[in-house]
């Protein structure tokens, strides 16, 4: 983050080649370098950028160990370019299990955050192939406290709210959101920003996997819901400037989190029927 409280994010809306991690790593490196040259303080990759979403039949061969080549690449580039990298997600082997894992590297190349996707996308059978995580992720992202959501997580307001209550000023959303539901994507990103008074940086893929087209439309949204920058449907690097002073001023005028009544909510949850 710059001394004026501005964080410049480079959202890498990448067209991933299905099941070709070598080619995708080469492309990601080129795009990360371009974002760094454009002045980004932090770059952000989409979900499963190195394989596409998601290779069921080749899962065992394409999932990487925790010290795999994709992570090594991100660590090396972060250190070389003195750039924080929100590394989207990488299919990761943990013992006999495979997880959809977000990784974050500091400008020194250090792994500073890791998150296994909590909400598996059952319509694509992600829940049948991948082990869901059980912990939230909140970390320092270039001087701004950031929480992490992977794709389907965006539909669960509870997760975003818990991250905001943990101090998140920014939500990093990495996705492979389909084009046919792209309007949901935009609305949900804005809703998560408005209801929690946080910035949201949401990067989507734009490739095709098993006839499902990721929709692009990456966007950055202010805590008041204003779209600060938005991408089209094709591969591009979207640059957005987040200004902490804007969030501070908004919360001075109105801060709904201060008016929450959690003790009442707990009682309502106990009395509500389970569907």
Q: CB–CB of 29/73 below 8 Å?
A: yes
Distance CA 136, CA 228 (A): 26
Q: Are 252 and 13 in contact (CB under 8 A)?
A: no
Note the Cα 212 to chain centre separation in Å. 20
Please tell me the distance from the alpha carbon of residue 116 to that of residue 168, in angstroms, as a whole number.
18
- Spatial separation of the C-alpha atoms in residues 89 and 87, rounded to whole Å: 6
Nearest CA-CA partner of 257 in 201, 200, 195, 199: 195
Cβ–Cβ under 8 Å, residues 206 and 174: no
DSSP strand E in 65-210: where?
A: 84-94, 97-105, 111-116, 138-141, 144-150, 170-175, 199-204, 208-209
Rounded CA separation 264/160 (Å): 20
Given a contact cutoff of 8 angstroms between Cβ atoms, the answer to whether 18 and 244 are in contact is no
Residues with active-site annotation:
47, 117, 151
């Amino acid at each position: 983050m710059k001394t004026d409280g501005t964080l410049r994010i480079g959202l890498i809306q990448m067209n991933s080649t299905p099941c070709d991690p070598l080619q995708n790593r080469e492309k990601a490196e080129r795009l990360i370098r371009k974002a760094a040259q454009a002045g980004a303080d932090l770059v952000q990759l989409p979900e499963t950028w190195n394989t596409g979403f998601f290779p069921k039949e080749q899962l065992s061969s394409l999932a990487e160990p925790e010290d795999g080549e994709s992570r090594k690449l991100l660590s090396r580039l972060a250190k070389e370019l003195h750039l924080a990298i929100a590394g989207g997600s990488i299919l990761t082997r943990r013992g006999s299990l495979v997880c959809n894992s977000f990784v974050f590297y500091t400008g020194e190349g250090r792994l500073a955050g890791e998150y296994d996707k909590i909400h598996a996308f059952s319509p694509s059978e992600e829940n049948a192939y991948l082990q869901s995580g059980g912990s939230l992720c909140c970390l320092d992202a270039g001087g701004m406290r950031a929480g992490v959501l992977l794709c389907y997580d965006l539909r669960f307001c509870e997760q975003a709210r818990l991250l905001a209550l943990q101090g998140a000023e920014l939500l990093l959303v990495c996705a492979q959101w389909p084009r046919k539901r792209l309007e949901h994507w935009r609305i949900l990103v804005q809703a998560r920003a408005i209801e929690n008074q946080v910035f949201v940086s949401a990067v989507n893929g734009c490739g095709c996997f098993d006839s499902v087209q990721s929709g692009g439309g990456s966007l950055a949204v202010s805590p008041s819901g204003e779209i600060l920058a938005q991408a089209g449907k094709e591969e591009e690097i979207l640059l957005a400037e987040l200004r902490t002073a804007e969030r501070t001023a908004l919360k001075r005028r109105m801060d709904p989190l201060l008016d929450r009544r959690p003790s009442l909510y707990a009682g309502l949850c106990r009395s509500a029927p389970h569907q």
